[in-house]
Amino acid sequence: MAAEDRAGGLRSDDDAVAADADRFAADRDVWDDLAEFHGTGPGDRSDDVEAFLAGRQTLRGIERELAGDVTGKELLHLHCRFGVDTLNWARLGARVTGVDFSPEAIARAQRLAERAGLEAEFVEADAQRLPDGLAARFDLVVATYGVLSWIGDLDAWMTGAASALRPGGRLVLVDPHPVFQTVLTFDPFVADRPHGGGAPQHDAMTGTDAHADVPAEPKKSTRSPYSLGEIVRAATSAGLVVERLGEHTETEADGRHLLPQGRDGLYRFPFSNTYLPILYSLRAVRPSAPGGA
């Protein structure tokens, strides 16, 4: 049987399964490398583990405001990397579970929880195929700053996130804005990446600015751009009711190291006489009863 892929070409079901498996393995290989290096050297700008152990709060205002008081709440953190943000939710009083597909990240997260003396469960899993044991357990599912572009099957991701929530539970998602994701370089200004559509974009990642010693050998990775419309549609198709949708023109950290930093320390995306959005945020609730929130 042949199916049309998002780029409009025809591919057999077997080809599609093989391509998804290749993408998963290649992306996980890249993230295993990064999980090994992030936060381990003096050149690391964003993952200062010692500062975290000394009590540094890494969660930003956007997700904290959307999540509200997390005291005593069961919180699932998707794409948790090596657990710094997950453990900071625990410091705020949540009972946390972190999920990531990188075994290296999960092993580091478990060690970090021990060092920090914080309770947390870390699970190695594909966020597009969450284990049944996580179903209907959580008051909050949180995913932030580098999430959906790694996902080939947006509907599977949203359905998993929705299924992990208890009735009345909420999804909090904060991610780079689709408009910002079209930008390749800011100076000179080049915005030639696709806006939405989900078609896989192949990249060769050589590492990250966060650490100068990440292996120089380029590794294949794949991104999928989704528009806000596509993300909201996926959330509602998964049975969630969108309560808040925000577009944010300033941020405390620019993970892509593209944007100019203002005197107030914030990063903005100047464009003509205005600022374009850098991040979007979405909060959606799993209704308690069919059709109602």
What residues make contact with ligand SAM under the rule CB under 6 A? 27, 31, 79-81, 85, 100-102, 105, 126-128, 144-146, 150-151
Residue closer to ligand SAM, measured from CB, 79 or 248: 79
Nearest-5° Cα angle at 149, 2 to 119: 120
| Distance (Å) of CA 142 to CA 62, 161, 189, 212, 275 | 12, 9, 32, 29, 27
CB of 166 to ligand SAM, least distance (A): 21
Residue closer to ligand SAM, measured from CB, 144 or 181: 144
CB of 289 to ligand SAM, least distance (A): 31
Q: Which residues, including other chains, have CB under 8 Å from residue 21's CB and lie 6 or more apart? A: none
Which two structure tokens, joined as six digits, stand for 196? Answer: 């939405």
The single-letter code of the amino acid at 267 is Y
CB of 97 to ligand SAM, least distance (A): 13
DSSP state of 182: G
What is the DSSP annotation of 108-175? HHHHHHHHHT--EEEEE--TTS--GGGTT-EEEEEEESS-GGG-S-HHHHHHHHHHHEEEEEEEEEEE
Q: CB of 143 within 8 A of CB of 113?
A: no
CB of 174 to ligand SAM, least distance (A): 9
CB of 110 to ligand SAM, least distance (A): 14
Residue nearest to ligand SAM (CB): 146
